Amino acid sequence: MIESTLLISAGQILLGIVGGLVAHAVVFAVLPRLAAGLERSTLRILLKRLRAPSRLIFPLLGIQVVLPAVDALPEMAGHLLTLAVYAAFIWTALALLQVLEEVVKGRHDVGVEDNLEARRIHTQIGVLTRSLMVIVVIVGVAAALMTFDRIRALGTAMLASAGLAGLVLGLATRPVLENLFAGLQIALTQPIRLDDVVIIDGEWGRIEEITTTYVVVRIWDERRLIVPFSKVISDSFQNWTRHSSEILGTVFIHTDYRVPVDAVRAELHRIVEGREEWDGRVCVLQVTDARPATLELRALVSARTAGKAWDLRVHLREKLVEFLQREHPESLPRTRVELPAPVGAPGGHPSGPPELAPAPAEG
């Protein structure tokens, strides 16, 4: 009699699971077709992200429908059902956070030329959603574990003796909490943003990714520099695009003292006026140093982004050197050596060895 009752209960639960899966298949076969004709992308993103967790939610709803008709439900099955409910809530919460992140990022395009505001929004929403995901997982798993009697008793005992146990727990979770709060601090204060041009540890690169514990910097030669949040918060570094992507680039040329500075300045203006990298704000040539053997010329130009500034700098350096070689070769750096005048020449030694003065007489 008991075995037959258990078989009937299992059949009823199985029926609820199958009904939930069928309902899931029908819903997600119809709704995407309806959303395809809508201009709003939020619904399409929501359906895409909720498709996977709903495969667990729909069967659980089916079980809840048939549960009142179930005569005998084993204790273990009830506990598994409770754990499945917790898992569904965690999974759904993570999916909704992903929907929020994707919708916000979709409304702020970082592909535009002036993308400072878009990069700020992308950084904030990325770090905040990842931090919230960590909190959701920790709280959800802790709540699921508390459904076990032994773990709940252990937790009560730890709260009763909160001294040593709290110290051990604090030391164990310190790195996680430190990175979590550092991530929130970065999201709020934003010393860096996605796609920022930075120099960290002497390496020039762009912020490619900001995770929950570290920052990925894409260096100019395609290497990746992994920087922990603690280093970003505590150490100093250069951020070239903190307030704007516009930047100044410099080109240094060392020449001879006979260089015609005005001609080089005119050539600089002629070169930059034909380049799309130049934004038209700054184009200056100055003599910044006079060394014993050479003059130092500095060309200062502006560009809208660091990448364009780099391309403009290398182009200017090449063309200015080419101009000096072609038009003013005497202006290239030279090494001068002053030789003594030949013997017999004006200012030189007289012909023949110099006469020795007679030695003074003794006495």
Residue 199 amino acid letter: I
Look at the chain and report how many structural domains it folds into. Answer: 3
Q: Mean pLDDT, to the nearest integer, of 17-23?
A: 84
> What is the pairing mode between strands 247-255 and 295-303?
antiparallel
Q: What CATH number did the domain enclosing 273 receive?
A: 3.30.70.100
Q: 120 and 212: one domain?
A: yes
More confident site: 16 or 356: 16
The listed range with the strongest mean pLDDT (123-127, 166-170, 343-347) is 123-127
* 350 domain residue, yes or no: no
336 by DSSP, 3-state: which?
Answer: coil
For residue 203, list its beta bridge partners.
Answer: 200
Q: Mean pLDDT, to the nearest integer, of 304-312?
A: 84
Confidence of residue 261 (pLDDT cuts 50, 70, 90): very high
Q: Calculate the CA 209 to chain-centre distance.
A: 3
Q: Mean pLDDT, to the nearest integer, of 118-132?
A: 82
Is pLDDT at 113 greater than 70 in this prediction?
A: no
348 secondary structure, DSSP code = S
Is pLDDT at 132 greater than 70 in this prediction?
A: yes
* 344 domain residue, yes or no: no
CA 202/CA 200 separation, integer angstroms: 5
- Domain of 324? 247-331
pLDDT of amino acid 242: 77
Q: 279: how many CB neighbours lie within 10 A of its CB?
A: 18
pLDDT of amino acid 70: 65
With tokens 């909720």, the residue in question is 50
* 338 domain residue, yes or no: no
Confidence of residue 171 (pLDDT cuts 50, 70, 90): low
Q: 240 and 301: one domain?
A: no
CA 208/CA 93 separation, integer angstroms: 26
Mention every residue, 6+ apart, whose C-beta is less than 8 A from residue 116. 193, 241, 243, 244, 245
DSSP-assigned states of every residue in 6-74 = HHHHHHHHHHHHHHHHHHHHHHHHHHHHHHHT-S-HHHHHHHHHHHHHHHHHHHHHHHHHHGGG-S---
CA 59/CA 24 separation, integer angstroms: 8
pLDDT of amino acid 54: 87
pLDDT of amino acid 112: 67
Q: 251 and 295: one domain?
A: yes
255 by DSSP, 3-state: which?
Answer: strand
Q: Give CB contacts under 8 A, 24+ apart, made by 196-201.
A: 196/119, 196/239, 196/240, 196/241, 196/242, 197/239, 197/240, 197/241, 197/247, 197/306, 198/237, 198/238, 198/239, 198/240, 199/237, 199/238, 199/240, 200/225, 200/227, 200/231, 200/237, 200/238, 201/225, 201/237
pLDDT in tens, 318-348: 999 999 999 999 988 887 777 776 666 555 5
* 356 domain residue, yes or no: no
Q: 232 and 289: one domain?
A: no
Q: 289 and 176: one domain?
A: no
Q: 213 and 295: one domain?
A: no
Q: 148 and 267: one domain?
A: no
User: Which range among 1-15, 125-139, 297-311, 338-352 shows the weakest confidence by mean pLDDT?
Assistant: 338-352
Q: 94 and 199: one domain?
A: no
Q: 84 and 192: one domain?
A: no
Q: 47 and 26: one domain?
A: yes
Q: 237 and 280: one domain?
A: no
pLDDT in tens, 68-91: 666 666 667 777 888 888 888 999
* 216 domain residue, yes or no: yes
Confidence of residue 357 (pLDDT cuts 50, 70, 90): very low
CA 362/CA 359 separation, integer angstroms: 9
Q: What CATH number did the domain enclosing 185 receive?
A: 2.30.30.60
Alpha helices in the chain (DSSP H): 2-36, 41-66, 75-106, 116-145, 149-160, 162-189, 229-234, 261-272, 306-327
Residue 24: which of 74, 72, 88 has the closest Cα?
88
* 143 domain residue, yes or no: yes
Confidence of residue 356 (pLDDT cuts 50, 70, 90): very low
Confidence of residue 252 (pLDDT cuts 50, 70, 90): very high
Q: 87 and 137: one domain?
A: no
The listed range with the strongest mean pLDDT (31-45, 111-125, 183-197, 336-350) is 183-197
Q: Looking at the whole model, is its pTM more than 0.75?
A: no
Q: What tokens were used for 132?
A: 């919230």
* 345 domain residue, yes or no: no
Domain closes at, from 89, 107, 125: 107
CA 19/CA 276 separation, integer angstroms: 63
Element (H, E) at 299: strand 295-303
Domain closes at, from 244, 272, 305: 244
CA 209/CA 225 separation, integer angstroms: 11
pLDDT of amino acid 130: 83
CA 232/CA 186 separation, integer angstroms: 9
CA 122/CA 317 separation, integer angstroms: 36
With tokens 């799309």, the residue in question is 276
Mean pLDDT of the chain: 79
pLDDT in tens, 195-229: 888 888 888 888 888 887 788 999 888 899 998 88
* 180 domain residue, yes or no: yes
